[in-house]
């Protein structure tokens, strides 16, 4: 076993099927003018690759990186460190995100790109945790809603770990410790 036995929330096949449905919705809703796809990296890369594959038209995927800092009050400030200068003027932008949590990242990116002259800035997200929302955001194309749990896999990480898991799983520190203990015992 390569990974700890975390609880699987969404197996890879289900993610694939849902992404196909979302791609169809995106195609119908955005025709005849294909949107400019902008993936929020790193996490949204696998989701963006799927949508790129399924939305007709071989659209390129642009990338934006945003970092959020927990402020002195709890109003986290979001800084765009990559892709702030993407040529969005006059374009219909579609942000591709792995998970919308407080909503701060997506809200900041929408504000930024609309201020830069994008004609619209819609959102497709694989996951959403509505109970955690601090800033209201509209997710135009949503894969799945989840409860307030920390999830990993399919691009989502914990300090760089578990991004490459094919399924979306629920993080459990005890399961991880057990896995690490077994790995150490096997090596000894």
Q: Mind telling me the catalytic residues?
A: 101
Stretch that binds ligand IMP, among 9-17, 45-53, 150-158, 176-184 (CB under 6 A): 150-158
101 binding ligand IMP? (CB under 6 A): yes
Give min distance, CB of 107 to ligand IMP, in A: 8
**Of residues 130-149, those binding ligand IMP (CB under 6 A):** none
Q: Is 71 exposed, middle or buried (0-12, 13-18, 19+ CB in 10 A)?
A: exposed
Stretch that binds ligand IMP, among 55-63, 100-108, 115-123, 159-167 (CB under 6 A): 100-108
98 binding ligand IMP? (CB under 6 A): yes
Ramachandran quadrant class, 17 (left: phi over 0; alpha: psi -120 to 50; beta: rest): alpha
4 binding ligand IMP? (CB under 6 A): no
Asked if residues 105 and 70 have their Cβ atoms less than 8 Å apart, the reply is no
105 binding ligand IMP? (CB under 6 A): yes
Q: What Å distances lie between residue 118 and 62, 69, 89, 104, CA to CA?
A: 14, 25, 5, 19
Which residues are within 8 A (CB) of 102 and not within 5 positions of it... i.e. 6 or more apart? 76, 132, 133, 134, 135
Asked if residues 65 and 71 have their Cβ atoms less than 8 Å apart, the reply is no
Stretch that binds ligand IMP, among 16-24, 46-54, 55-63, 93-101 (CB under 6 A): 93-101
Round the CA-based radius of gyration of the chain to a whole number and report it.
18
Site string for ligand IMP, 48-87 (x = CB under 6 A): --------------------x-------------------
Give me the residues that bind ligand IMP (CB under 6 A), please.
40, 43, 68, 97-105, 150-151, 156
């Amino acid at each position: 076993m390569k990974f700890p036995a975390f609880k699987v929330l969404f197996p890879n096949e289900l993610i694939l099927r849902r992404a196909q449905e979302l791609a169809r919705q995106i195609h119908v809703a955005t025709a005849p003018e294909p949107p400019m796809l902008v993936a929020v990296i790193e996490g949204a890369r696998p989701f963006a690759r799927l949508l790129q594959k399924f939305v007709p038209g071989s659209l390129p995927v642009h990338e934006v990186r945003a970092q959020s800092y927990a402020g002195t009050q709890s109003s986290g400030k979001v800084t765009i460190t990559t892709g702030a200068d993407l040529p969005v003027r006059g374009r219909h932008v579609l942000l591709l995100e792995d998970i919308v949590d407080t909503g701060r990242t997506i809200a900041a990116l929408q504000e930024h790109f609309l201020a830069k002259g994008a004609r619209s800035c819609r959102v497709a997200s694989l996951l959403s945790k509505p109970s955690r929302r601090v800033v209201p955001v509209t997710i135009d194309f949503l894969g799945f809603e989840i409860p307030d749990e920390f999830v990993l896999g399919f691009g989502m990480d914990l300090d760089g770990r578990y991004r490459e898991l094919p399924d979306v799983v629920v993080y459990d520190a005890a399961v991880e410790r057990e896995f690490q203990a077994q790995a150490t015992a096997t090596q000894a």
